[in-house]
Amino acid sequence: MSCIIIRRARFSASHRYWLDELSEEENWERFGPTSRFPGHGHNYTLYVSMHGPVDAYGMVLNLSDVKQIIKREITSQLDFAYLNQVWPEFGRSLPTTEHIARTIFDRLRPHLPVVRVQLHESEDLWAEYQGEGMQAYLTVGGHFAAAHRLALDTLSLEENTEIYGLCARPNGHGHNYLLEVTVRGDIDERTGMLVDLVKLQKVIEDKVLLPFDHTFLNKDVPYFAEVVPTAENIALHIRDLLEGPVLTLGAHLHRVKLVESPNNSCEVLSDYAPLLA
């Protein structure tokens, strides 16, 4: 019997997005404030997933040993460091979240049966790497507040209430939605990026966050005049809105996750994503 175990670790570090072959103006145009000297910092959270058989002691690995390996190989070297200079990998490619995740994976692989590394730069930005060559995943979070009513026009209030419960009340109700958009692509060998993050954030803002925020979805978003705005249907519509624009940025939409409340959320994969990804 096998199992995946996950170990969390943390480190604080700074970095700068700057390419020596570009001028100051070109770096600013490409990377914005992240190109400022001497850089900026983050409190990173690292999740290392490892796979293996469960032994007679009920463990895949001794977690005390895992902790020490991660500390020795990763966090003791990165904590309170200037990432651009700490490892040679970050001299060849910028220490973006996705490139850091890939590098950590490669550095741990000789020591642990690692199958996935997830690195959170903030609560709204994290990357995942699964050992797939240069391909990685980047997730951007966002928020919008909106109201909706769950009801079919062809049914009576009593019939809608039987299906949707209190959500069918005529004047609707609201949520503070949390949106997570995951894209996948190859990490550029020089920039360390799989997609232009600023452009990706703007696409999400322009296509979803601004049109949906502070609206009554049934009335203010034309699509939901004919479609019941359940969390599932909202997520599917967001996927359809983002697939094309993300592709024009050189990446592929992988997953849309919509959190309606602490108790309710849903995920939809892109039509081009593996079903079990």
- Residues 170-182: tens digit of each pLDDT: 999 999 999 999 9
Q: For residue 85, count other CB atoms closer than 10 A to its CB.
A: 12
**Fold of domain 1-132:** Tetrahydropterin Synthase; Chain A (3.30.479)
What pLDDT is attached to residue 48? 98
CATH of the domain spanning 134-277, picked from 3.30.930.10, 3.40.50.720, 3.30.479.10, 3.30.457.10: 3.30.479.10
Residue 277: pLDDT band with limits 50, 70, 90: very low
Residue 276: pLDDT band with limits 50, 70, 90: very low
- 262: its two tokens: 């602490």
What pLDDT is attached to residue 196? 96
Residues tagged active-site: 167, 214, 260
Distance CA(6)–CA(63), nearest Å, equals: 10
Nearest to 12 by CA among 48, 52, 39: 39
**Summary mean pLDDT of the chain:** 96
Distance CA(170)–CA(59), nearest Å, equals: 53
Q: What ranges do the domains of the chain cover?
A: 1-132, 134-277
What pLDDT is attached to residue 100? 98
pTM: 0.93
User: What backbone torsions phi and psi does residue 143 show, to the nearest 5 degrees?
Assistant: -140, 145
What pLDDT digit, counting tens, does each position of 17-73 carry? 999 999 999 999 999 999 999 999 999 999 999 999 999 999 999 999 999 999 999
What pLDDT is attached to residue 242? 98
Nearest to 61 by CA among 1, 5, 105: 5
What pLDDT digit, counting tens, does each position of 201-256 carry? 999 999 999 999 999 999 999 999 999 999 999 999 999 999 999 999 999 999 99
- Same topology, domains 1-132 and 134-277? Answer is yes
What average pLDDT does range 96-107 have in this prediction?
A: 98
SS3 275: coil
Distance CA(262)–CA(243), nearest Å, equals: 27
